[in-house]
Amino acid sequence: MAGFAPQIAANAAKIMVVTVLLIPALLATGGRQEGVGENRKLANFPERPHSWDSIVKFPAQLDLWINDHFGFRDLLVKLNNRVRYTLFKQFPTMQVIEGKGGRIFLAAHSTAHAPYAAIIQACGYQYEQTDLIAKHLSAFDAGFRKLGVDAKMLIAPSSPVLYRDELPTWLAQRCDPSAEPIPRVLASDSMTPQARQRIYYPIDDMRAIERTANVIPATWFHWSGTGPRMVAEASVRHFWDAKARATPTLQTSQQSLPSDISHLFPGVELDSSVEVADFKASGITECGGPTCFPQLQAPMAKLGDVSRYTNPLAPNRRLVMLSDSFGRHIAGWYAPYYREVIHLSTNNLAQLDDSEVHALRSAFLQTAENTHVLFMYHDGALLSGRLALDLGKLGI
């Protein structure tokens, strides 16, 4: 025994190395890695080999599984992201870039898209589809006129347009203000005058708001807070009620909230000050998810991003909003002007079958007294041809 302790001391380094390697290995067999921020499915443990070909492939498949499931992997991914951002202002994905003054921009909606596609499309760099989009808007007008529904269109400018001067210099040089695509769409000869009357593009209003408050928080992709609150009021006045008044006045507070695209850079904490409504304190009932629509739970579950607001003090009218992801951040701000606000995201509209689409049309897209219909897209979504896809799915 007297010689045992010196042996342990002599091999202490080896024991420590084995222990350090053993702990992650044990965690890999019993723990569960999430693959934070990677937008992919982690490798599954390979099936037991049953042929010579599967035996040959087994080591490579096992290696992929080990790479995706070693212990502390998620923690180390977050730490790596934080170090890279702190030292070099680098994000772990090509989908996000940082501009001037700490403003971040969504550069691409998917890693399958071209680098900076979301930015250069919104600001109009080499964009050549303005006449086509004008035709889509004219089809929107004609389709709803045929239904007898006075639907309107709200187009939200996104960060590359609102904050061109905060883009990295080389990108800002590609975003010539005179080439902004939405004004060119609205001026196109391919758009009917009737369609143009249905559209509100509040770029001037939003630039005026920017003098006192951020329309889009500096670390967000979507608008939120003061900007959409003021645009909601302006759009009600513009389209339907020049004397619209908020009933009741919403109680709000300023809160520090994490970036709405923080899932793309786990471990990097970027917050912004955002105005948030307290619907309950304001006497407004807020409901989110398919359970808010008991008769339509199946299609609502597929849409996912759906909500309903009820305000017993507001005028007896209903707003039905169909939108891209920008819609969820403005829908609640319409509640002071409507007895009921219904918001349906069309991001997953393609998943609905024909009977479910028919049910949505019957419930929300028919001529109805005291019902206003509003479609809303941010500029990048509209310029991508999204409206034509949604109208096609809805049969309009």
Mean pLDDT of 126-142: 97
136 pLDDT band, cuts 50/70/90, is: very high
Q: How far apart are CA 362 and CA 164, in angstroms?
A: 42
Assess whether pLDDT exceeds 80 at residue 25: no
What is the reported pTM? Answer: 0.84
pLDDT, tens digit, 9 for 90 and up, residues 5-22: 666 666 666 656 555 555
Residues 6+ apart with CB under 8 A from 14: none
pLDDT, tens digit, 9 for 90 and up, residues 257-274: 999 999 999 999 999 999
Mean pLDDT, the chain, rounded, equals 89
pLDDT, tens digit, 9 for 90 and up, residues 62-103: 667 666 666 566 777 788 889 899 998 999 999 999 999 999
Reading the block at residue 298, the tokens are: 């199946």
- Give the torsion through C-alpha atoms of 297, 301, 305, 311, to 10 deg: 10
Q: What percent of the chain has pLDDT over 70?
A: 85
**Per-residue confidence (pLDDT) for residue 250, from 0 to 100:** 92
pLDDT, tens digit, 9 for 90 and up, residues 343-369: 999 999 999 999 999 999 999 998 888
Residues 6+ apart with CB under 8 A from 84: 90, 91, 92
**Contact (CB, 8 A) for 320 and 345:** no
Domain definitions of the chain by residue range: 14-71, 106-394
Mean pLDDT of 292-308: 96
Reading the block at residue 289, the tokens are: 């998810």
**Per-residue confidence (pLDDT) for residue 75, from 0 to 100:** 78
* Burial track 163-197 (b if 16+ CB lie within 10 A, e otherwise): bbebbeeebbebbeeeebbbbbbbebeebbeebbe
pLDDT, tens digit, 9 for 90 and up, residues 167-223: 999 999 999 999 999 999 999 999 999 999 999 999 999 999 999 999 999 999 999
**Per-residue confidence (pLDDT) for residue 78, from 0 to 100:** 84
Reading the block at residue 148, the tokens are: 């007898």
pLDDT, tens digit, 9 for 90 and up, residues 28-51: 555 555 555 555 566 676 777 778
Rg, the chain, Cα only: 26
